[in-house]
Copies of this chain bind each other. A is one copy, B any other.
Amino acid sequence: MTERVLILGGGFAGTAAARALRGQGLEVTLIDQRNYHLFQPLLYQVAAGDLQAEAIATPQRRLLRGGLHFRLGRVARLRLPQRSILLDDGDILSYDYLFIALGTVTNFFGNAAIANHALQIKGMEAAEAVRSHIFSALEAASHCTDPAQQQRWLSFVIAGGGPTGVEFCAALLELLRVVLPRDYPELRLEDLQVTLVQGSAALLPGFSAPLQGQAARKLQKLGAQLRFHTHVQGFDGQMVQCQPDPAIPARTLVWTAGVTANPLAATMPGARGPGGRIIVDPHLRLPEYPEVFILGDLACSSNGEFWPQVAPFALQSARHVALVLQSQRQGRPLPPPFAYRDPGSMAVIGRFDAVCEIERWHLHWHGWSAWLLWLGLHLYHIIGTRNRLLTLLDWGTDYLRHSAAVEIIRSPPDSSDP
């Protein structure tokens, strides 16, 4: 009888694992609550109007053509002892092998007020909601007669100075500097205020100190106000409370200050690492259930090795897991234990400007050549000719015509009429 593999999650890890298992005589089903794979590293550009969402979304069924199966659904419960999972539509699916690649969710650290009022850049609709909010804020400011309120509409706060926060901050400033003078003559560029609030002493934790400094200088040059050693403590939609003071009047808070494991991870047996991640054995298996593999952002090394929550790790973990399963089934010895090979890190800090660091070659640099490398790599990794062309078209609009690719304010479908 054909052995069944269930893959939970269609991000980089889950989709790559499914494709790596193609043609091996397994019945492979990928389960996701979205019917598309999303190229998440560019999601911040959707939030900043640089890119349309459709350019970075690829239908799962297209990726899984050639014998792999897709099931749209949300996992309600894992039933590891029974080797099955329960979906929220009541269906129970059983497996011989389970790949868990459910990733992370935004971490508001239990602060309900922030969770209610802040925006986040996680998922296609959420990123589009950021863009819609930015343009709604400009519209509100443009006919606001109370100067104090107008200033709040023109004040944008970003919580978190990791890659997403820094890249979004740069993209937002580039956007506003382009759009405001041309399309909002009622508003003055000088009234804009973009503040990035970072808990630690530097932006881009993990990068080398010179590149951290370069990113901070570049954001400041673009007009950002940086507040280090500061935490956002609350937000009511009008005022961002900070620790230490002072508070920042603003109608917009974009939260990039942390992620935590998908809530289903908490229901699993065994030990947890930082951020609720699941401690795995050297082959990314759950020690208690060796038929269960943990991939991507959810996996945590048992020997203290640092595994970053990035696409290269997700892809490497998927390839390793597929190899382990293949070896097991063919009765061959297992491959050497998983070891993460760091290809380097990069972050865009403005038009034609990025920081880049390739640790194993001791390379750290920034500027247009780093940006070109970033551009080429991302374009290469976007899936499908159509999506590459859409991305190129939007980037052409952004960079060459110096305009915003997408300024559309989206509303919920039920408000379409009249």
Q: Is there a chain B Cβ closer than 8 Å to A262's Cβ?
A: yes
Interface centre among A263, A386, A397 (most CB of B within 10 A): A386
Alpha-carbon distance A135/B418, docked complex (angstroms): 26
Q: Is there a chain B Cβ closer than 8 Å to A393's Cβ?
A: yes
Contact partner of A54 among B34, B52, B65, CB < 8 A? B52
Question: Known: A61-B407, A386-B397, A412-B412. Is A417-B106 also a contact (CB below 8 A)?
Answer: yes
Q: Is there a chain B Cβ closer than 8 Å to A221's Cβ?
A: no
Bitwise interface map of A from 390 to 418 toward B, beta carbon under 8 Å scored 1, else 0: 10010001000000011111111101111
Q: Is there a chain B Cβ closer than 8 Å to A35's Cβ?
A: yes
Contact partner of A416 among B126, B184, B386, B409, CB < 8 A? B126
> Which residue on B lies nearest to A186, using beta carbons?
B69
Bitwise interface map of A from 59 to 74 toward B, beta carbon under 8 Å scored 1, else 0: 1011001000001110
Alpha-carbon distance A389/B122, docked complex (angstroms): 28
Note all chain B residues with C-beta closer than 8 A to A139: 35, 72
Note all chain B residues with C-beta closer than 8 A to A65: 182-183
Distance between A337 CB and nearest chain B CB, rounded to angstroms: 30
| Cβ-defined contact, A35 with B409, below 8 A | yes
Distance between A263 CB and nearest chain B CB, rounded to angstroms: 6
Contact partner of A408 among B57, B129, B262, CB < 8 A? B57
Alpha-carbon distance A120/B393, docked complex (angstroms): 30
> Which residue on B lies nearest to A128, using beta carbons?
B413
Note all chain B residues with C-beta closer than 8 A to A368: none
Note all chain B residues with C-beta closer than 8 A to A72: 136, 139, 143, 409
| Cβ-defined contact, A418 with B105, below 8 A | yes
Distance between A67 CB and nearest chain B CB, rounded to angstroms: 9
| Cβ-defined contact, B122 with A407, below 8 A | no
How many copies of this chain sit in the oligomeric assembly?
A: 2
Question: Known: A54-B54, A61-B184. Is A120-B417 also a contact (CB below 8 A)?
Answer: yes
Q: Is there a chain B Cβ closer than 8 Å to A125's Cβ?
A: yes
> Which residue on B lies nearest to A126, using beta carbons?
B416
> Which residue on B lies nearest to A263, using beta carbons?
B418
Distance between A253 CB and nearest chain B CB, rounded to angstroms: 15
> Which residue on B lies nearest to A264, using beta carbons?
B418
> Which residue on B lies nearest to A261, using beta carbons?
B418
Distance between A402 CB and nearest chain B CB, rounded to angstroms: 13
| Cβ-defined contact, B263 with A125, below 8 A | no
Distance between A137 CB and nearest chain B CB, rounded to angstroms: 11
Q: Is there a chain B Cβ closer than 8 Å to A124's Cβ?
A: yes
Question: Known: A35-B135, A143-B91. Is A126-B417 also a contact (CB below 8 A)?
Answer: yes
Q: Is there a chain B Cβ closer than 8 Å to A36's Cβ?
A: yes
Question: Known: A35-B407, A71-B143, A72-B139. Is A412-B54 also a contact (CB below 8 A)?
Answer: no
Known pairs A59-B407, A105-B417; list 13 more (Cβ under 8 Å). A35-B408, A53-B408, A54-B54, A61-B184, A72-B136, A72-B139, A73-B143, A103-B418, A104-B418, A124-B416, A125-B415, A125-B416, A128-B413
Q: Which residues of A contact B (CB under 8 A)?
A: 34-36, 52-54, 57, 59, 61-62, 65, 71-73, 91, 102-106, 120, 122-126, 128-129, 135-136, 139, 143, 182-184, 262-263, 386, 389-390, 393, 397, 405-413, 415-418
Which 3 pairs show the lowest CB-CB distances between chains A and B? A123-B416, A105-B418, A61-B183
